[in-house]
Amino acid sequence: MYCEMASAHWRYDAWRIELSDRVSISMEGHVAEVMLNRPEKYNALDMRMFDALGEAADNLAKEPKLRAVVLHGAGDNFCAGIDVDTFTDPKLRIDKTLMEPVASSNGNLFQRAAYAWRELPVPVICALHGITFGGGLQIALGADLRYSAADTRFSIMETKWGLIPDMAISTTLRGIVPPDRVKELAWSARVFDAAEAVQLGIVTSIHDDPLAAARAFADDCAARSPDAIQGIKQLVNESWRLGEAESLALEAKLQLRIMGSPNQVEAVHANLEKRPPKFRD
């Protein structure tokens, strides 16, 4: 891994932020879009991309109006995985400190590129097209939903480079794909299509225009009570790893926190009065 950490540089425009030149963020209303912005390199992951993805998530986590995120790639592909130039960089060396968790996260710098989307309390919908290989697939797995074009190609490709998949796949793919299928895919590094990805549970659904579908669903989530939407994400992410008693207790705890709150009361009144709700951020 790089021994030198490239800092992200911010450029502020109306409704748009560029992080170093690798990732862009735009926000309209309550929905943010995060775009991997290196299309000439198939949005491949280098150190600047890892830095920028973590910084993007950190800044969105501080945005009080945020209710949903759409994650996608610029150009014809989502992400080809690790930039192969990284392996030939003369500065490349193993730096153990980069494998340690970053501040306020369970994940290290590389894991956070994927795990940060799981850590965000709001829905993250990923739109996939073209190549989604290696680290690119692991980033997508960090999202809550994955909408794919029919011709998207996938691979857990790390064994091609003599590595294991280590960008939080042990948490994000757990409970989705059976262990034997994960081993087969990771050992072989074979490429599979969107239809098989749906069958495996890796992809939520296939769309003619996955980005439009992701935007529409994000808008739908943003129009609902943010307390309920975030509560559902927390409930599913946490309770699926708990015993039954703990899961039931978490359900009750989350519901007690929401029930009778201003947004829950507003949801009831808006439905009874047949009008759009006006939720608090």
| Phi, psi values for residue 2, rounded to 5° | -60, 140
- 179 and 230 in a single domain? The answer is no
- Tell me what the mean pLDDT of segment 271-277 comes to: 97
- 133 and 235 in a single domain? The answer is no
- 238 and 206 in a single domain? The answer is no
Domain assignment of residue 280, yes or no: no
pLDDT, residue 175, reads 85
Q: Which residue has the tokens 């932020």?
A: 17
Domain assignment of residue 82, yes or no: yes
**What CATH number is given to the structural domain containing 234?**
1.10.12
- 118 and 233 in a single domain? The answer is no
pLDDT, residue 89, reads 66
pLDDT, residue 1, reads 31
Domain assignment of residue 3, yes or no: no
- 168 and 265 in a single domain? The answer is no
DSSP codes joined into one string, 73-137: ESTT-SB-SB-THHHH-TTB---GGGGSPPTTSSS-HHHHHHHHHHHSSS-EEEEE-SEEETHHH
- 112 and 245 in a single domain? The answer is no
Domain count for the chain: 2
C-alpha span between 169 and 166 (Å, rounded): 6
Confidence of residue 10 (pLDDT cuts 50, 70, 90): very low
Domain assignment of residue 4, yes or no: no
Residue 180: domain span = 10-222
Domain assignment of residue 281, yes or no: no
Domain assignment of residue 53, yes or no: yes
Q: Which residue has the tokens 């294991």?
A: 164
- 194 and 215 in a single domain? The answer is yes
| Two structure tokens written together for 182 | 């994960």
188-217 pLDDT, tens digit each: 999 999 999 999 999 999 999 999 999 999
Confidence of residue 20 (pLDDT cuts 50, 70, 90): confident
Confidence of residue 226 (pLDDT cuts 50, 70, 90): very high
pLDDT, residue 90, reads 58
Domain assignment of residue 204, yes or no: yes
Confidence of residue 243 (pLDDT cuts 50, 70, 90): very high
Residue 209 — left, alpha, or beta (φ > 0 → left; ψ -120 to 50 → alpha)? beta
Domain assignment of residue 277, yes or no: no
- 216 and 243 in a single domain? The answer is no
Torsion sign across C-alpha atoms 97, 69, 65, 9: positive
Distances (CA, A) of 27 to 7, 14, 43, 66: 23, 9, 21, 9
Domain termination residue (choose one: 182, 202, 222): 222
Residue 183, C-beta contacts closer than 8 angstroms, at least 6 positions apart: none
* pLDDT tops 70 at residue 121: yes
* pLDDT tops 50 at residue 7: no
pLDDT, residue 16, reads 72
- Please write down the long-range contacts of 256-261, taking CB distance under 8 Å and 24 or more positions apart: 257/227, 257/231, 258/225, 258/227, 258/228, 258/231, 261/227
- 234 and 132 in a single domain? The answer is no
155 bridge partner residues = 133
* Mean pLDDT of all residues belonging to the chain: 92
- 230 and 218 in a single domain? The answer is no
Report the percent of the chain where pLDDT is more than 90. Answer: 85
- 17 and 146 in a single domain? The answer is yes
